[in-house]
A and B are shown apart, each in its own frame.
Chain A
């Protein structure tokens, strides 16, 4: 399965935008890029996913590089509630790996007041 690389930790100031990077240089053409986050003492929460085009939803935006070897999760105005571990996960649409989420160690985002 294609792997992802994320920074271990990042800091952001409250009410400022946050750009969380993810490298996936071995991504295949059928891999979807998914992002989840896990707040303290909670289960992971789905944030957003995409295949080739940039995606927006009420929580965040996903910017996908043209060669798809990297992507960036954008939180437009960080709040203290956004402090969490963020996971970037690839899911192949045509293999059994699509039936499970393979979590790496993720990025611990700290939001400073």
Chain B
């Protein structure tokens, strides 16, 4: 079956702009999470959605937001981009919401560069 699909793979934006990233989870997976990966901070949790509701949020400013659609696809948005937002943004999906007895499947990520 198809894995987690993230689009686009690469993106270059200018400071102050906004960006929207897309994630299509594995078919049947209803939980979608987003992570940011930078060389300095490593992998950090952004937020998690289940059944179109944000269930958990990491320690990021309000410029980072997301949503989930009825088909479980998810988008994340970053407004007023800063140079420090340059990172690999990863999406992960899971069959079970919050269940520690399930693993997550990650996409290959969107590489965002802010100039």
Contact = CB atoms under 8 A, between A and B. Distances in A.
Interface residues of B, number: 26
B64 to A, nearest CB: 14
B48 A32 contact: no
Nearest to B106: A43
A80 to B, nearest CB: 20
Interface in A8-50: 30-32, 34, 36, 41-46, 49
Contacts, number: 64
B100 A43 contact: no
Size band of the interface chain A makes with B: 20 to 34
Given A43-B92, A43-B109, A102 B45 contact: yes
A100 B108 contact: no
A63 B48 CA distance: 30
B7 to A, nearest CB: 14
Interface of A: 30-32, 34, 36, 41-46, 49, 51, 91-93, 96, 98-105
